[in-house]
Chain A
């Protein structure tokens, strides 16, 4: 599958090392529908290609929105792109958060750091279909306040009856939200554990402990999904770069039910 050229319409700085790119179709590229949790392979010309999740509204496929953390050569090149420049796009790929199937249930979204980007489409879906769900809680943790993403949207999410509970590891004295790890937020969200479906994305350690804590509180492991964002190359199940046990993250994931990953995620060699 060859990349199609998309044009950068906006480059929005979210934090010191994270930007959001808003892309519109160039030349032969056509808008494609995607589901929350899916990703594209983004190709920065002259630098290389990396998997990046959709962070925009699945209800508006006319543009692509990607939120990227600068961690190395390719992500740095993507973060530098300016309006009018081109980016190669292949996708969408991968499994999705099954939020549309959870009607009538409580939704718990637990994100750490950049992990809120792949989960924002879940928030968008909930906002468009708020009446389909009972309690909805977003539990979000980052290292410090300046590293939180999408803070400008929290107020409008709250107004749509989404509980947004935020924590950081370190905070100055004027910070009025929580301080502590994201697992501690579980006790501050109001939801019924037995009827909750949980979507987790963040560093693997964070997902592991959050899934375990949710399970200990009564959330069914079969109703807990995590997104495994380990690195990959081809995105179509050929190269084996992203193979984890019997799973190919690019084809079978990145979104998996927690029981499918529970044993693999703790294996040191994988």
Chain B
């Protein structure tokens, strides 16, 4: 079975992270798996983790009382999920639910924040990685809002 460091180095999100840094962050990580339908986190709860997806798909959903959950995005293999661990007040803003049986590397956000505070160079590197994902998701969301496939779309 592959070790944590190896799994982290194979994942696109941390692929080019220097070896030393990888060893540091691996200290905050563990492997985890979720069955289809299981929640990785739920809106309003403490955001203490983020996840690198290795296999499977995760749906991000918003709950509205009396309505079906609104599924606005899915995240798949090779992607990262969760950034509320980085920002105050460290609360999840939506739900994440496994669509398939899913395996992830689960990072303890408090542990990693501590390491980043101690080593701002590492902190800046990690912040840049998350910023890239946020910018990408923001661009994707804008496209989704245009409703390109509508009759007036395009």
Contacts and interface: CB of A to CB of B under 8 A. Distances in A.
B61 A183 contact: no
Contact of A179 (B74, B143, B146, B153): B74
A36 B124 CA distance: 50
Contact of A176 (B77, B100, B144, B150): B100
Contacts, number: 74
Contacts of A173: 59, 61, 68-69, 71
Interface size class of A (residues with CB under 8 A): 20 to 34
B78 A203 contact: no
B144 A205 contact: no
Contacts of B69: 173
A205 B74 contact: no
27 contacts: A71-B151, A143-B149, A169-B147, A169-B149, A170-B70, A170-B71, A173-B68, A173-B71, A175-B71, A176-B100, A179-B59, A179-B74, A180-B73, A180-B74, A180-B140, A181-B143, A181-B144, A183-B140, A187-B79, A188-B76, A188-B77, A203-B149, A203-B153, A205-B143, A206-B149, A206-B154, A209-B143
Interface of A: 71, 112-113, 141-143, 147, 167, 169-173, 175-181, 183-184, 187-188, 202-206, 209
Q: How would you classify the secondary structure of chain B's contact residues: helix, strand, loop or mixed?
A: loop
Contacts of B1: none
Contact of B149 (A147, A171, A188): A147
Contacts of B99: 176
B72 interface: yes
Contact of B71 (A112, A171, A188, A204): A171
B110 interface: no
Interface of B: 57, 59, 61, 68-74, 76-79, 99-100, 140, 143-144, 146-151, 153-154
User: 5 smallest A-B Cβ distances: which pairs?
Assistant: A203-B154, A113-B149, A181-B143, A203-B148, A143-B149
A141 B74 CA distance: 13
Contacts of A171: 71
B72 A205 contact: no
Contacts of B153: 113, 203, 205
Given A141-B149, A202-B154, 9 more contacts: A113-B148, A113-B153, A169-B144, A171-B71, A173-B71, A179-B59, A183-B143, A202-B149, A204-B154
Contacts of A172: 68, 71
Given A178-B76, A179-B72, A187-B78, A143 B150 contact: yes
A155 B153 CA distance: 29
Nearest to B100: A176
A112 B78 contact: no
Most buried by A among B73, B144, B148: B148
A69 B57 CA distance: 32
A98 B24 CA distance: 50
Contacts of A178: 57, 74, 76
A248 to B, nearest CB: 20
Contacts of A188: 76-77
A179 B69 CA distance: 13
A208 to B, nearest CB: 10
B23 to A, nearest CB: 27
